[in-house]
Amino acid sequence: MDDTLLIREVRPWGGPAADIRIEGGRIAAIGANLAAPAGAQVMEGRGRIAIPGLVEAHTHLDKTLLGLPWYRNEVGPRLIDKIDNERRMKRALDIDPHRQSMRQALQSLGHGSTHIRSHVDVDTDHGMWGIEGVAATREKLRDLVHIELVAFPQSGLLVRPGTLELMDAALAAGAEVVGGLDPCAIDRDPKGHLDAVFGLAQKHGKPVDIHLHEPGEMGAFSMELIIERTRALGMAGRVVVSHAFCLGAPEMDALIEAIAEAGVAIMTTASPSRPVPPVLKLAKAGVVTCSGNDGIRDTWGPYGNGDMVERAMIVGLRNNLRRDDEVELGLRICTEGGARIMALPRYGLAEGCDADLVLVPAETVASLVVDRSRDRTVLRRGRVVAEGGVPVMAAP
């Protein structure tokens, strides 16, 4: 019985107090006054709210500057300025993908993220440097946090010959998801770009996650092409469009309905400075929605700390979520929404689920989001992996 843990007196999703019994890394029972089996460990929940592990559904572990000397940002305003600058800076600043992804993944774990989907750059300057580095991190942290790699053509797929072959190699080497990027604005060939991305997905039997920064009608056009391919290939539930700023433009209700029907999911960071997908509308239409912190302290910008509870607050602020039920939606997006797009089996607070939990002191779910207490206990498969922001493994 020594893998049994009884957590006394927590409030699952802010509901009535209950005990949680964990056996073999899974939730065996949730209920009032559960008995502690002989030999079981007992943890006092102190009335904290229990939520399932936070899901960081969109970040870039390979290129954070965490732990490096401060990078003074003097980059130009265009998207391509940031992309080109970053590719140059990787060697100049020694942004080693393995070391840096270790740092960020552990920091995220400290805040309670037990699952991370990371886009990882694949380009002809750096080849498989990123994929290999983050894959090594995935292995080293396997018992602490679940990391999934998206092979991501950050510098363009068709415009930089040789990238497609590298993407193919990255997927063969174990990247779990096929990435894509702005089929019109960056690759200048929407049909060609998307046929290549979905072609890789078919070849490797893997899902798709496409960065779509394109605004307004251009972005809506690319979205239509993605929907067509999702339908034609029977990939409902296996395609995510990240950012989807076009959905923040007026008159996108019909497109949102089409997204829902096609089973395409949306990732929004709820960027305060861009038009963003309206999460209340998406929820009403039945579109699976997740969120992520995107780049954290990198050459693109200095913001971010890896905390998905803070991200839930930003989702709320950006979408003007004020009612308690609305604020809670933000946290569901940062937990259950991410679990849906990562197709996590056994996710949630129910018997039989993996015991991936975060315990946070709060009066209600809404107060949990706005207070963002650091006094968190994080469990991964029933084992305490972080306490008060500090993970059990030190970062390099």
Residues that bind a copy of itself (CB under 8 A): 69-70, 72-75, 270-274, 297, 300-305, 313-314, 316-320, 322-325, 327, 363-364, 366-367, 369-371
Q: Whole-angstrom Cα distance, residue 79 to residue 215?
A: 13
| Structure tokens given for 269 | 């960071």
The C-alpha atoms of residue 240 and residue 129 are separated, in whole angstroms, by 25
Question: 91 or 322, CB closer to a copy of itself?
Answer: 322
- Minimum CB separation from a copy of itself for residue 149, in Å? 26
If the CB atoms of residues 76 and 161 are measured against a copy of itself, the closer one turns out to be 76
User: Taking Cα atoms as reference points, which of 300, 294, 298 lies closest to residue 64?
Assistant: 298
CB of 273 to a copy of itself, least distance (A): 4
User: Which helix or strand (DSSP H or E) is residue 21 part of?
Assistant: strand 18-23
In the three-class reduction of DSSP (H, G, I as helix; E, B as strand; rest coil), residue 2 is classed as coil
Please identify, using beta-carbon distances, which residue of 235 and 333 lies nearer to a copy of itself: 333
Angle separating helix axes 308-318 and 97-111, nearest 10 degrees: 80
Least Å distance between CB 331 and a copy of itself? 12
Minimum gap (Å) between residue 220 Cβ and a copy of itself: 20
Residue 94 and residue 107: Cα distance in Å, rounded?
20
- Min dist CB 316 to a copy of itself, Å, is 7
Give dist(CA 108, CA 116) in Å, integer.
9
**CB nearer a copy of itself, residue 39 or residue 69:** 69
Nearer CB in complex with a copy of itself: 163/268: 268
Q: Are 189 and 181 in contact, with CB atoms under 8 Å apart?
A: no
Residue closer to a copy of itself, measured from CB, 118 or 269: 269
Nearest to 187 by CA among 207, 167, 203: 167
User: Residue 117 corresponds to which tokens in the numbers above?
Assistant: 């989907």
Distance in Å, CB of 272 to a copy of itself, minimum: 4
Cβ proximity to a copy of itself, 239 vs 366, nearer residue: 366
CB of 75 to a copy of itself, least distance (A): 7
| Amino acid letter for position 366 | A
Q: With CA atoms as reference, report the closest residue to 159 among 178, 175, 127, 183.
A: 183
